[in-house]
Amino acid sequence: AQQPVTVTVTGAAGQIGYALLFRIASGQLLGSDTPVRLRLLEIPQAVHAAEGTAMELEDCAFPLLRSIDIFDNASEAFSGTNIALLVGARPRSQGMERADLLEANGGIFKPQGEAINAGAADDVRVLVVGNPANTNALIAQAHAPDVPAERFTAMMRLDHNRALAQLAKKLNVSVNDIRKLTVWGNHSASQYPDIFHAEVNGTTGAKAVDDQAWLENDFIPTVAKRGAAIIEARGASSAASAANAAIDHVYDWVNGTPEGDWVSAGVPSDGSYGVPEGLISSFPAVSRGGRWEIVQGLEIDEFSRERIDASVRELSEEREAVAKLGLV
Ligand code: NAX
């Protein structure tokens, strides 16, 4: 039998936590042969709620679930962790400026980075879900100098899956018929879903659509603003789809992406495609041997260039803002 893998989930009592934990415990994160030890991190006021979720997890009698421990302290929560899912974050309250938001999240992601640095397993892999995810990942990474930088990633898979679904619907094909779609940049409204390199039944996504007005006025804004549309309709932000995307990201990171395809992942830039080195930006990415690699050599036309640059500019500004606050 395989050794248990330790998974830490922050914000465990929240909406995404509730959708995520059961799927981890049932084996969907790491596969059906891998036992799991869960370590949950919450703020003290939400520990009791997390205990309730833990009771329900117990009541599922999942064969792979070896243990559940709940903490209000990052050092303990990340001790020995192999997979860290950083979901808990400080939401933007009304009238909050971006600098205040970044500072409040610095207060969360700096100590969590330090705790990962001090106590996580050598093979720790980190996925940041809590917004602003890309910059929160950068902050945590900056405080974990002993962990290879590439182990810090930000979740762009929900954006990727949203783009896949919208394109499939437009073309009246299955999502299985679409390969090599990319969402570039920041997990924000500036993100750029790119169908020019996507392959659909022997042609490109853009050629299959053949409708520039739909691409510009419908597809791109629909994907980029999907989170707001969900809030408007559901009265709460995306939770099950976000949990699903976190599962997809980690499963692919550990097990590899399929041959002949790629996904979108927020990974540290090596300077590819003109994205300043070190920014945690979304790229076309494959996972091989347990590591994300940025897909190289794609030709970027002017339409895509402008949009990638605009989203990356926003990431650079966020990095400057957290640098001013001494957080990176
Ligand atoms: P909830 O407000 O339901 O849950 C967040 C939980 O985090 C709360 O239980 C809170 O007590 C906890 N928390 C706050 N500070 C913490 C800390 N320092 N340590 C541990 N726990 C802490 O939010 P939910 O809907 O679950 O969303 C969580 C985060 O995911 C938000 O930041 C949200 O913006 C972000 N999202 C990111 C997405 C992405 O694609 N990257 C999509 C979905 C989601 O919007």
**99-132 residue pLDDT tens:** 899 999 999 999 999 999 999 999 999 999 999 9
- pLDDT band per the 50, 70, 90 thresholds, residue 148: very high
How far apart CA 287 and CA 294 sit, in angstroms, is 9
Q: Is 106 in the pocket of ligand 1 (CB under 6 A)?
A: no
**Confidence (pTM):** 0.98
Q: Is 16 in the pocket of ligand 1 (CB under 6 A)?
A: yes
25's CB contacts (< 8 A; 6+ apart) are 36, 38, 57, 60, 62, 64, 65
Q: Is 104 in the pocket of ligand 1 (CB under 6 A)?
A: no
Residue 273 C-alpha to ligand 1 middle, in angstroms? 31
End-to-end alpha carbon distance in the chain: 41
Q: Is 254 in the pocket of ligand 1 (CB under 6 A)?
A: no
Q: Is 14 in the pocket of ligand 1 (CB under 6 A)?
A: yes
- Percent of the chain clearing pLDDT 70 (strictly above): 100
Q: State the amino acid at position 301 in one-letter form.
A: D
Q: What is the mean pLDDT of residues 20-49?
A: 98
> What confidence score (pLDDT) does residue 95 get?
85
Q: What is the mean pLDDT of residues 313-327?
A: 97
The answer on pLDDT for 315 being more than 70 is yes
Q: Is 323 in the pocket of ligand 1 (CB under 6 A)?
A: no
**DSSP secondary structure code for residue 279 in this structure:** -
Q: Is 130 in the pocket of ligand 1 (CB under 6 A)?
A: yes
Q: Is 43 in the pocket of ligand 1 (CB under 6 A)?
A: yes
Give the tens place of pLDDT for each residue, 230-275.
999 999 999 999 999 999 999 999 999 999 999 999 999 999 999 9
Q: How many helices (H) and strands (E) does the chain have?
A: 12, 14
The answer on pLDDT for 172 being more than 80 is yes
* Shortest-distance Cα residue to atom 18 of ligand 1: 108
Which residues are known to be catalytic?
A: 187
> What confidence score (pLDDT) does residue 93 get?
85
Q: What is the mean pLDDT of residues 16-30?
A: 98
Give the tens place of pLDDT for each residue, 285-307.
999 999 999 999 999 999 999 99
- pLDDT band per the 50, 70, 90 thresholds, residue 10: very high
> What confidence score (pLDDT) does residue 91 get?
87
Longest CA–CA span in the chain (Å) reads 55
How far apart CA 68 and CA 51 sit, in angstroms, is 9
> What confidence score (pLDDT) does residue 1 get?
66
The answer on pLDDT for 212 being more than 80 is yes
* Shortest-distance Cα residue to atom 2 of ligand 1: 14
Q: What is the mean pLDDT of residues 312-325?
A: 97
Is the ipTM above a cut-off of 0.90? yes
- pLDDT band per the 50, 70, 90 thresholds, residue 97: confident
> What confidence score (pLDDT) does residue 83 get?
98
CA angle 63, 51, 109 (to 5 degrees): 100
Mean pLDDT of the chain: 97
Ligand 1 atom closest to the Cα of residue 41 is 20
Q: What is the mean pLDDT of residues 145-167?
A: 98
Q: Are 227 and 238 in contact (CB under 8 A)?
A: yes
User: Strand 125-128 vs strand 83-86: parallel, antiparallel, or unpaired?
Assistant: parallel
Q: Is 109 helix (H, G, I), strand (E, B) or coil?
A: helix
Ligand 1 atom closest to the Cα of residue 129 is 41
Residue 41 C-alpha to ligand 1 middle, in angstroms? 12
Ligand 1 atom closest to the Cα of residue 131 is 32
* Shortest-distance Cα residue to atom 35 of ligand 1: 130
249's CB contacts (< 8 A; 6+ apart) are 127, 153, 155, 157, 263, 265
Instruction: Please report the DSSP string for 134-190 in residue order.
Output: HHHHHHHHHT-TTS-GGGEEE--HHHHHHHHHHHHHHHT--GGGEE--EEEB-SSTT
How far apart CA 68 and CA 52 sit, in angstroms, is 12
Q: What is the mean pLDDT of residues 175-198?
A: 98
Q: Is 13 in the pocket of ligand 1 (CB under 6 A)?
A: yes
> What confidence score (pLDDT) does residue 262 get?
98
* Shortest-distance Cα residue to atom 6 of ligand 1: 11
Ligand 1 atom closest to the Cα of residue 17 is 26
Q: Which pair of tokens denotes residue 32? A: 């059906």
Q: What is the mean pLDDT of residues 124-142?
A: 98
Pocket test for ligand 1, best of 48, 70, 85, 87 (most atoms within 8 A of CB): 87
Q: Using alpha carbons, select from 326, 322, 325 the residue that is nearest to residue 137.
A: 322
